[in-house]
Amino acid sequence: MALAAVLCVLATSACGTRLSDAEIGQVQAATVTVTNPATALPGAEAGGGTAAGAGNVAGAAGSAEVVPQPGSGEAAAASGAAGPAAVSAAGVSGGSTTASVTGAKPGTSKAAAAGAAAGERCTRALEPIILGQTGVFSGLVGQSTGNQRLGMSVWSNWVNANGGIRCHPVKLYQMDDGSDPSRTAANVNELVTTKKAIALVGVNVPITMGAARSAAARLGVPIVGGDAGDAAWNTDPNLFLSGGSSAAAWSGGIVEAARETGFTKLGLIYCIEASPCQQMNQYFAQTVEAAGAQDVFRQSVSLTQSDYTAECQNAKNAGVQIMAVYVDAASIQRFVRSCKSIDYRPVMETGGLAISPGVPKDPDIQAFTLYVGSPNAPYTATGTPGLDTLHTAFRTHTGADVPDAPSLIGWAAGMLFKGAIDSLDVERVKGAVTTAMVYDGLYSLKDKTLGGLAPPLVFKRGQPSGVIPCYTYFKITTQGIQTPGAKFRCINSWKRN
């Protein structure tokens, strides 16, 4: 089960900058070299992809030696500081871009020794781990969710600056599918059969999950973390959530809004353009029940509407006190202004992927108060090992802090993969890391929290994740983003499968 409204919470900017119409529609070779979030990743060549965090820290593949030392992968993931390395300029060849990391020369002990953080002392880098990421990183949808690619890029560079995963550097290929199922399937095939990716990590496929999961199953690779916007994340045993279920996340935002305000009359606005929006409608009754409130209004809308005054008037007539709005960020802003024009100001609620960097700064949204549910820790929160590492890595490798929730989602997916490999016995990781090892590592995880980025994660062989009924939340007010800590709350009426 999932509310799966991820698709509908489309942001209006990526990495802190608004793209032009021409840039939105353009699919081009991407760079993972970022010195500021505003420069990040407008698109990736569907046929070529992006290699991020590639083997400039790798040394000679397969030629490394490892001195085993027992250690904890969880401690490594939560170790705090990223290395002093910075992302250097990348060289473009054959339509793809490869990022290098400065501060660690190929084949040197400096490049490998940082692997001790994962439980071994590395004398040289082992064979690279090749990973693939496919998703919608261009167009309207990509403007909202595309920073998952930034999160994965920062993660791969951070990993390589710190000696790789168990002394294996990471080579990450990132490909844009433009929300086209045929391109999604082609990307997965390219990543696995040509690039030799052993897993798909941090996928961003809120529209094309069917194509992604079918291709991954056919090729025998897992999907490790990603947008969590489709109900398949809870039902497909080949999908491994890197946070709570979207059902709980977005319901949780509504539950917290009702709890804090005391309001009991709830309404829902949801887009007609995509099934994830409609799934929000499907599970709204269960959400209302969890909030102990009343469902007094629902209405579908289009993302193309320039004005929502009629919908605001209908909601006002119905007495809606808390309005869940599952559309893109630009539509949220238009909806707020439409309601303001008739002097109607309900408390608002939406999902984390609607919060582009500009939304918290919108004075109209601040005046309404907007609650936001999240399947991971709030991206602005600090105070846990995983969050502190996240913020340090972004500042080190981009020169700025985490710009939005999709960035954290991409990072958390990488951390889940890292946790799986960190859990393996030392002897197994001396050679090449294989897909079978990825599965074994995932199934060995017990209550993995990624240093506080996620609720406890457990995966059972051959079984789906089921609904993980835990969430965090934050709210946007006239005081800016208010985050009541990173503690996960769970909806007791929703049992984990």
Query: For the chain, which residues make up each domain, given as ranges?
Result: 21-243+380-467, 246-375+471-490
Cα(245)–Cα(353) distance, integer angstroms = 14
CATH H-level, domain 21-243+380-467: superfamily: Response regulator (3.40.50.2300)
Tell me what pLDDT residue 358 has.
Answer: 82
Per the structure block, which two tokens stand in for 98?
């490869």
Cα(87)–Cα(475) distance, integer angstroms = 33
Q: What are phi and psi of 220, to 5 degrees?
A: 75, 35
Q: Name, in order, each residue with C-beta under 8 angstroms of 399's C-beta and a sequence gap of 6 or more.
A: 34, 35, 36
Instruction: Answer yes or no: same fold for 21-243+380-467 and 246-375+471-490.
Output: yes
Tell me what pLDDT residue 51 has.
Answer: 61
SS3 percent helix, strand, coil of the chain, rounded to 5, is: 40, 20, 45
Q: Name, in order, each residue with C-beta under 8 angstroms of 270's C-beta and a sequence gap of 6 or more.
A: 5, 8, 277, 278, 280, 281, 298, 300, 301, 326, 327
Q: What are phi and psi of 326, to 5 degrees?
A: -115, 80
Tell me what pLDDT residue 120 has.
Answer: 62
For the chain, first and last CA: distance in Å?
Answer: 10
Q: How far is CA 268 from CA 63, 248, 452, 491, 494, in A?
A: 58, 16, 31, 20, 21
Cα(422)–Cα(318) distance, integer angstroms = 54
- Are the C-beta atoms of 390 and 413 separated by less than 8 Å? no
Listing DSSP states for 1-30 in one string gives -----TTT---S-BTTBPPPHHHHH-----
Task: Give pLDDT tens digits along the chain (497 positions).
Answer: 333 333 333 332 333 333 332 332 332 222 232 222 222 322 223 334 556 553 322 222 222 222 222 233 333 333 333 332 322 222 212 223 233 232 333 333 333 333 334 446 788 889 999 999 999 998 877 877 889 999 999 999 999 999 999 999 999 999 999 999 999 999 999 999 999 999 999 999 988 999 999 999 999 999 999 999 888 999 999 999 999 998 788 889 999 999 999 999 999 999 887 767 777 888 899 899 999 999 999 999 998 899 999 999 999 999 999 999 988 888 899 999 999 999 999 999 998 877 777 888 999 999 999 999 999 999 999 999 999 999 999 999 999 999 999 999 999 999 999 999 999 999 999 999 999 999 999 999 999 999 999 999 999 999 999 889 999 999 999 999 999 989 999 987 775 54
Domain 246-375+471-490 sits in CATH 3.40.50.1820: no
Cα(291)–Cα(257) distance, integer angstroms = 9
Q: The pTM is what?
A: 0.79
Tell me what pLDDT residue 83 has.
Answer: 32
- The residue among 371, 226, 227 whose CA lies nearest residue 287 is 371
